[in-house]
Each structure stands twice: as structure tokens, then as C-alpha cells.
Amino acid sequence: MPAAPGKSSDSAPPGPRRALVAGSVGNFVEWYEFGVYGYFATVIAANFFTPQGGGDAEALIRTYASFALAFFFRPVGAAVFGRVGDRLGRRPTLILVLLLMTGATTLIGLLPTYATIGAAAPWLLTCLRALQGLSAGGEFGGAVSVMTESAPPGRRGLYGAWQSFTVALGLLGGAGAAALLAAVLTQAELNAWGWRVPFLMTLPLGLAALWLRLSLEETPAFRRGRALANDPGGHATTGGEGRPVAPVREAAVAIVLGAGRLMGWSAAGYTFLVVLPSYLQTSLRATFQQALIATVLANAGFAASILPAGALSDRIGRRSVMTAGAVLVAALALPLLNSVQDAAAPALAKGLAVFAAGAAVGLLAGPGPAMLSEMFPTRVRYTGLGLAYALSNAVFSGCAGLVITWIIARTGDVDVPAYYVVVTALVSALALATLRGDDHRRPLRDR
């Protein structure tokens, strides 16, 4: 229930459920699109990155290079839009990034292919991916800020987990759209025009998301932060005892540490949830339909564990849940991948393996947004948590498909995805060990 006018207490945030829905819906659109690009990587490679004489592996690597480029624009978007969001407000910034994201995604569905306009096609696609990267970089920080700043006491983990949950729904939506098209269209139809349909579907989805975000209110924490900034006696350059609050060095350290805590989530999430379809097709010779079924199961496991993990972190702490997730991901990566590789293994066993892989990643993704939000004060929260997330994803998610595909092509070792996940998850576990056990009980910092 909205708070009475003039009240901004954390015990009665205005419209928390409305804020939760408005903050989540843009993430669904974003990750639906990113998932579609990954699921159709082999089709996009054939249409945009295969000049005469180019091989399939070379085209796929170029496709993933474009995929990675979008991720490297995300830190730029996080810095630019995060600064706007911390100064002008979460609401107008989230509306702007949603419009940019929807427009760029829809245009991808309208692009002429390499066969039509030659070398201009991959360049145009890459430019649109860059725009998507900018908008996606501004999405996460704002959405998580809105969700966690609007959360009732003791429920930040659960509210923040909805960001990750809508990521899972977006990936599942993209996989479902791809699987449906693969079932009703021939391969020739899919390659010729069917791949465009999921991208064009973003337009009505984006308009629906825009309608919801137009009704979004600013959070109590942002309004308090603005009041402090306008108060000459309480300007957020010093704390209550005159000590500096969140100076540049402290914020930079927090961003790097936050990225380290997320790297296992970033690497494992993209390896198991997005890169898996192309890996199964190119390395294990699975059909497009088989690869998509495996991906749907992995994302279903991911979605199933996110909200319980977020809620559990509100009870026992972010550190315990996320560290357990990182260790579990590292321990299970190679056995799970080997079970998928085993041609003699029953289909049920393979399905359970990819479902378990997704569920393990969900233990990291559920508490992750709240953990980041608790690392930064209100005046830099949008920018700080957005940059930490964007940097982690740029390095460890955006490069996952490119690095894994390139190393497998050079070495022939099909266990490369598991090695990649193990190393990043173990480093992430070490970074998570530095979390305080009671962060989930502390109020968000205004200064």
C-alpha cells in the first residue's frame, strides 16, 4: 500500500509491487533478445557473417565477436545512464533505456542480410548490437535500484531476485520462441526469414513494458538522497562523523570487488544458459531442436532456484547462499558436461544434468542483485552496481561464446566449457568470502 504523502520510511515504501513489476519487465525484454541472439547464433552466422569461401566455424566466431561487442558497450551504458539515474532519477532513465533497447532489437529483425547488401550487413548488425549493449548497461543498475530500494524490510533478497528471475523468463521466452519456430518451419524457412520473427516480437513487448514504466514512482531512498544533496548541512560528501563517504577510490574498489563476486554467475550463466545450444551443435553434432530442448531445461532449473535462493539469503545471508552456489557450480561443471557428452547416457539423465546446472547458477543469481545494492550508497548505487555487473558480464559472459568456440576449434577439447566455469566459479567464491555475514540485516546506505 502506498505510503502517506510526505512519508518515506523504509517500512512503508510506496507501491513496492508496482515498482517490482515495472523494474522487472524491462529485464525480461532485454534478456529475451539476448537469448534469441545466442539461440540463433548459427543461423545469424550463416546470414550475416559467411562471405563466399568462409567456413561455418569462422562465421560462428564472428557472430560471437559481435555478441561480445555488445557486452563491452554495457559498462559504457552503465556509466552514462547510471550517472543520469543517480542525478535525475531512476524512472526517466529506465524509460529511456527501454526505448533504446526496443528500437535496436526491432531493427535487427528488419536488417538485410549479407546476400542482399554484402559486407554492410555485419557492420549494421554490429552497430545495433552496440546500441543494445548501451541500453542493457543502463537497465540493470536502475532496475535493481528500484527493486531493492522499494523492498519491504527483510525482503531485499527476494525483491532483488526478481531481476534475475525475469532474466530467466526472458531466456526461456527466447528459447521457447526459437523452439516453436524450429518445430513449425523447415530449416530453409528458418534460415530465410523465420529467425526474424523473435526479434520483431520485441516491439509489442517493449511497448507493454513502456506502459508499465510510465506509472513508476521514484523510490524513497532516491528522494532522501536528493534531499540530502540539496541540504548544505548534510551534503553527501561526509558522513555523520565528518568522515568521507564513498570517495572515488572506495567506489572503484567496490566495483572491482563486485565484479569479482559475480564472475562465476556471469561465466556459468552464459556457458550453460546461452552458449550451450551452439556448443551442442558445433561440438557434439546435436540437432537444433535437441540443443534448444537442453537449453530450455537448463533455464528452467535456473528459474526454479532463483526466488528461493533470494528469499533464503534474507534469512541466512547473501554470503552463505552465494558461496555455496559458486562451490556447487565448480564441483558439478565437469560431471554435468560429461553426462551431456555421453552418447549412451539416457535422455532423462542428460535432462536432469542440464536442469541441475541451471539450478546451481540460480543460487548465485538469486541473492546477487541485493548483494550488489548493499555495496553502494544511494547517490552512486545506480552507477556502482550497474558498472560492477556490466564489467563482469563484459569480460566473463560476453567473451564466453567467443573464447570457448575459439579454444575448442584450436584444441579439439570439448571439455573447455567446464574448465572455464570451474576457474571463474572458484575465483568468485574467494571474492564472496569477503562479504560480511550480516549485510542482509543492515539498511541500505543513504550516504
Chain segment 244-269, per-residue pLDDT in tens: 444 677 888 899 999 999 999 989 98
In a domain? residue 234: no
Q: How many Å apart are CA 425 and CA 48, to the nearest integer?
A: 34
Name the DSSP class of 224.
Answer: H
Q: How many Å apart are CA 113 and CA 64, to the nearest integer?
A: 17
- Cα atoms in the Cβ-side hemisphere of radius 13 Å centred on 170: 27
Decide: 428 and 262 in contact? Cβ < 8 Å: yes
144 or 36, higher pLDDT? 144
292 or 210, higher pLDDT? 210
Residue for cell digits 532522501? Answer: 224
Which amino acid does the sequence have at 92? P
Which amino acid does the sequence have at 22? A
In a domain? residue 2: no
In a domain? residue 233: no
DSSP assignment of 49-74 equals: S--TT--HHHHHHHHHHHHHHHHHTH
232 has a pLDDT exceeding 60: no
379 has a pLDDT exceeding 80: yes
At 247 the three-state DSSP class reads coil
Q: How confident is the model at residue 243 (pLDDT cuts 50, 70, 90)?
A: very low
383 has a pLDDT exceeding 70: yes
Report residue 135 CA to chain centroid gap. 12
329 or 17, higher pLDDT? 329
Q: Tens of pLDDT along 296-321?
A: 888 889 999 999 999 999 999 999 99
CATH number, residue 316: 1.20.1250.20
Confidence (pLDDT) at 240: 40
In this prediction, residues 111-131 reach a mean pLDDT of: 86
332 has a pLDDT exceeding 80: yes
The radius of gyration computed from the CA coordinates of the chain, to the nearest angstrom, equals: 21
3 has a pLDDT exceeding 50: no
229 has a pLDDT exceeding 80: no
Confidence (pLDDT) at 132: 84
Q: Percentage of the chain surpassing pLDDT 70?
A: 84
Q: How confident is the model at residue 349 (pLDDT cuts 50, 70, 90)?
A: confident
Confidence (pLDDT) at 64: 62
In a domain? residue 182: yes
Confidence (pLDDT) at 57: 58
Give the least confident one: 218-227, 354-363, 375-384, 387-396: 218-227
Q: How confident is the model at residue 103 (pLDDT cuts 50, 70, 90)?
A: very high
Q: How confident is the model at residue 7 (pLDDT cuts 50, 70, 90)?
A: very low
In a domain? residue 8: no
Name the DSSP class of 440.
Answer: G
Confidence (pLDDT) at 2: 42
Confidence (pLDDT) at 37: 73
Q: How many Å apart are CA 314 and CA 356, to the nearest integer?
A: 23
How many domains are contained in the chain?
1
C-alpha cell at position 251: 567506489
Decide: 337 and 415 in contact? Cβ < 8 Å: yes
Q: Percentage of the chain surpassing pLDDT 90?
A: 30
Give residues with Cβ within 8 angstroms of 75, minimum separation 6: 137, 387, 390, 391, 394
5 has a pLDDT exceeding 90: no
In a domain? residue 1: no
Nearest to 184 by CA among 42, 110, 289: 289
Provide the mean pLDDT of the chain: 82
Range of the domain at 207: 16-228+247-435
If you count them, how many residues does the chain have?
447
In this prediction, residues 284-302 reach a mean pLDDT of: 78
Q: How confident is the model at residue 273 (pLDDT cuts 50, 70, 90)?
A: confident
Decide: 314 and 353 in contact? Cβ < 8 Å: no
107 has a pLDDT exceeding 90: yes
Nearest to 381 by CA among 140, 151, 158: 140
Confidence (pLDDT) at 315: 95
